[in-house]
Structure 1
Amino acid sequence: MNTFGKMILGSAFATLAMTTTALADTTLNALFMSQAAYSEDDIKSMTAKFEEANPGVTVALEFVPYEALHDKIIAAAGAGDDGYDVVLFDVIWPAEFATRGFLQDVTDRIPADYTDKVFDGAWTTVEYDGKRYGMPWILDTKYLFYNADMLAEAGISAPPKTWAELAEQAKQIKDKGIVEFPLVWSWSQSEAMICDFTTLTAANDGAFFDEGQPAFTAGGAKDAVSFMKATLDEGLSNPSSREYFEEDVRRVFSNGEAAFALNWTYMNALANDPKESKVAGKVKVAPAPGAEGKSTASSVNGSMGLGIPANSPHADEAWAYISFLTQKDVQDNYAKLSLPIWKASYSEPKVIEGQEDLIAAAKESIAVMYPRPLVPSYTEVSDILQKNIHQVLLGQASVDEALEAAADRVKRIR
């Protein structure tokens, strides 16, 4: 037996003062997603550094598409000791996972001084009912990416500040024949579409629920769906957006087939990489627009955290790994695809250099991150909204019909 907890894992990690005993050879099973935010290579590199500092511990990495992540975590909950020791989870899942007993409460493991050092929006990623079920790791929201050359060719001097202005600029670009469909989105019947819907709802001062009852049949939420449909009807949005995920959006924009795209942080580096993009050097980023008289910018909380499943037999070693991945120095060194959770990181030259536009946008966007409903039944609520909003985008239902149908169905599961 070796004393695992007495190993020093860097200055930030030493504060955890672990004093647990572990097996000489421990293998941690860790589940991550295979797209957006940190790349697989980034995670493998971070993990190798952790293993080097902790020769008694090996981490077996598994990467799955985001769409499979939720169900993988649930399926592993009944696997006993053969499940996962560390899992990446979305901001929309803590309520469900906590109430169903899938994640360990790690509130007492987190150093008290971390609370003020990490963005408030990041903490909401791992919190439910006053407790913390992991450490925030991916601090993310969707930004407005735009092709500066296309805007300049159309005589546009600055990116849009409101969604109405976005539509106007898109029409101007289309009318000049610069690109057939200036806008591209991830509007497949998936969580990706709900993130865009949430961003637009936030801009329009809308809400999902009011005193426990659906509130998305009117106001800002209705305005959001109406805007989405209008951009399709007017030929401003690529009609294939209704089938696209985030990587499709990146591909289309990087091929020079769109002037504007709403996407996560990771796209900034890849769209500006000549090996990955035909428009490298032309790409700029700004906060997602607001709505006149209602907001100056809009932002959805797309952050993710790292937690320990309740059935993990290696909780202390798992927490050591999580603590290593989430410490400031590690995040600062891998800040090109995912921005750090730490407030102090945003004044670090190695974080800022080469992505000045993104950092400027992040400072504004992080402050207004809007949550999707933090309810245990969120997965069902999202599925219902996905189905009904997608029918609007396909022209199979009116905005009112679809949102009323969604509200009726949500009332039955709440």
Structure 2
Amino acid sequence: MRRSLALGAAALLAVSACSVGSNTGGADAEITFLTFETPNLTPAYWDAAIKRVTDKNPGVRVKKLVAPTADGRTSYAKQLLQSGQFPDVMIAVDSAGFAEAGNLYAWTPEELKDFQFPQANPVNGRFYQLPANTQTIPPVYYNKRMFADAGIAAPPKTWDELLADAARLKDKGYAPFTIGGGKDGFPSSMILSGLVSTEVYATMPDWLTQRRQDKVKFADPAFQHAFSKLADLAAKGYVDKTSVSRDYAATEQAFLDGQGAMYPMGNWFAANADSKKHDFEVGVFNFPTEDGRLVVPAYTGGGMIVNAKAANLDAARKFALGFQLDKDQLDASVKADGLFPAIKGYTPPPGVGATFKAGYELYAQAVRQNAVVHAFRWETADDGLLPGMKDKVDQAAQDVITGRKSVAEACAFLDTEWAKAG
């Protein structure tokens, strides 16, 4: 994110001529497309999205594949590669490992010209993943009714204020935080992602690059200090240790059902906060920092990668670009998943919900103040964790929350796993 993430949210203009290849013509070509499902991105969403793009590219037919879990799509793609079934197009699959082995198509400057950050997520200086959208990870969503009942007049900006608010909420009988994990993993590490991003990355934005160069370690004081705050939340009972077995969909529903006051999650949650049934108003605030300084973790990427050896490579490329650049599809992704499309000239459609608007403005403010950093654990390619390490981060967070490991032991575990992954 240190690549001048000037989304310019306040100055974006209406999209014009962003769709690709409205009439492709040519012979009928079938491609396989690996998707994943979440409470927001349902089978119906993907079916409609595929139809939306293929209707404008009539020479392309798509066979949809679905990863077994939302957060396991990269590992599933690896399994498919090993079994000789590597999909032609994949979305939100980490390009690292696949690209270096020559399995991915490298996008040309001309193909990337409509993206705001065409040089996001490089692999050895080349770009294999379309930088399709920006996500803030994590803002904190909160139950305004619970906050008011606990006498909290405004959301916290500092870590001490967060702790004080959590104490008030607990005293009122409310669970301060809603977290999860289970088969999805990442809801367990959301708080850790926020802590590392706002504390470690705020002073050392290239920390993960330095980790790749073996100049820093997880066991170093700065990382341990950030991690220790998650342990403190668990020790104080502000984070429910039993919740780490709850999957992502159930975790989201638990918050909407009023089972917790705060829900640290990516900005995609705004779509369901604005559309799903609940009996309280949802607010959103930036992840608090130690001194109250504005630091907003975000990630730009998440787009399509294409199999370089696809039998119908041209069709795969057309479909991928058509999916990522079509205005109707972009609007659908905003409404369904609360995304911030990183496309030149894009503005969200009319009628987006209040939670989305609030989160979008928080991000726009951070952009204006040059206060955006990488979102720890969510980076990809040369800027990201080594392959397989995201699951280890989730595991380390769960181990600390449940008390199975101390912070020092969890950090040592991460360093050991890093050495194995390298």
TM-score (ref. length: structure 2): 0.81
Evaluate the alpha carbon distance shift between residue 408 and residue 138 of structure 1 in structure 2; reply closer, same or farther with a 3 A threshold.
same
Query: Which residue in the other structure is 1:7 paired with?
Result: none
Alpha-carbon shift at residue 30 of structure 1 (Å): 0.5
Counterpart of 2:17 in structure 1: which amino acid? S
Query: Which residue of 2 is the match for residue 12 of structure 1?
Result: 18
SS of corresponding position for 1:183: coil
Aligned to 1:396: 404
Hey, what's the Cα distance between the residues in 1 that align with 2:186 and 2:103?
A: 21
The answer to whether the Cα contact below 8 Å between 2:178 and 2:251 also exists between their aligned partners in 1 is yes
User: 2:144 matched to which residue of 1?
Assistant: 148
1:15-414 to 2 correspondences below 5 Å:
22-23=26-27, 25-35=28-38, 38-64=41-67, 65-78=69-82, 83-90=86-93, 93-112=94-113, 114-115=114-115, 118=116, 120=117, 123-125=119-121, 127-141=122-136, 142-177=138-173, 179=174, 181-188=175-182, 190-206=185-201, 207-208=207-208, 209-210=210-211, 211-273=213-275, 276-279=276-279, 281-292=280-291, 295-301=293-299, 303-327=301-325, 329-330=327-328, 331-336=330-335, 337=337, 338-342=339-343, 344-346=345-347, 349=350, 355-364=356-365, 367-372=372-377, 374=381, 378-414=386-422
- 2:150 maps to amino acid: A
Cα deviation for residue 322 of structure 1 reads: 1.3
The SS at the match of 1:135 is coil
Alpha-carbon distance between aligned partners in 2 of 1:220 and 1:302, rounded to the nearest angstrom: 25
8 Å Cα contact 1:105-1:131 kept in structure 2:
yes
Moved more, 66-75 or 349-358: 349-358
Change beyond 3 A, Cα 1:86–1:411: closer
CA distance in 1, matches of 2:347, 2:162: 28
Q: Which has the higher contact order (CA 8 A, sep 6+)?
A: 2
Provide Cα deviations, 1:107-166, integer angstroms capped at 9, x if missing partner: 245143x25xx1x4x8524x3222111312343232210111111111212111123322
Q: Residues of 2 paired with 1:202 and 1:155: CA distance?
A: 29
**Are the counterparts in 2 of residues 249 and 263 from structure 1 also a CA contact under 8 Å?**
no
Partner of 2:11 in structure 1? Answer: none
Change (3 A) 1:130 1:55: same
- Tell me, yes or no, if the aligned pair for 1:29 and 1:86 is still in contact at 8 Å: yes
Contact 1:38 1:266 in 2 (8 A): no
Do the aligned residues in 1 keep the contact of 2:296 with 2:363 (CA within 8 Å)? no
Inter-CA distance 222–165: structure 2 relative to 1 (3 Å threshold): same
Which piece of structure 1 moves more, 305-314 or 192-201?
192-201
Give the distance between the partners of 1:377 and 1:370, measured in 2 at CA: 11
1:377 positional shift: 6.9
Displacement after TM superposition at 1:306 (Å): 0.3
Coordinate RMSD, CA, aligned? 3.1
The 2-side partners of 1:57 and 1:164 are apart by: 55
Instruction: Tell me, yes or no, if the aligned pair for 1:28 and 1:314 is still in contact at 8 Å.
Output: yes
The TM-score with structure 1 as length reference comes to 0.82
The structure-2 alpha-carbon separation of the partners of 1:194 and 1:353, relative to structure 1 and needing over 3 Å to count, comes to: closer
Deviations 1:166-199 (A, max 9, x none): 221111111123x1x1111235583444454232
User: Structure 1 regions of 5+ residues with no counterpart?
Assistant: 1-9
Question: Within 1, Cα distance between the matches of 2:108 and 2:30?
Answer: 24
Aligned partners of 2:129 and 2:304 also within 8 Å: yes
What is the alpha-carbon distance in structure 1 between the residues aligned to residue 322 and residue 404 of structure 2?
Answer: 49
Rounded to whole Å, the distance in 2 between the matches of 1:394 and 1:353 is 35
The amino acid across from 1:151 in the alignment is: F
Q: Cα distance 1:252–1:66, how it changes in 2: closer, same or farther (>3 A)?
A: same
Structure 1 runs of 4+ with >6 Å offset: 16-19
- Would you say the 8 A contact 2:32–2:64 is kept in 1? yes
Instruction: Give the whole-Å Cα distance in 1 for the aligned partners of 2:83 and 2:409.
Output: 42
Q: Among all aligned residue pairs of Structure 1 and Structure 2, give the percentage whose two residues are the same amino acid.
A: 20
- Give the conservation status (yes or no) of the 8 Å contact 2:241–2:402: no
- For structure 2, the 5+ residue unaligned runs are 1-15, 202-206
C-alpha change, 1:296 and 1:188, in structure 2 (3 Å) is farther
* Equivalence for 1:5: none
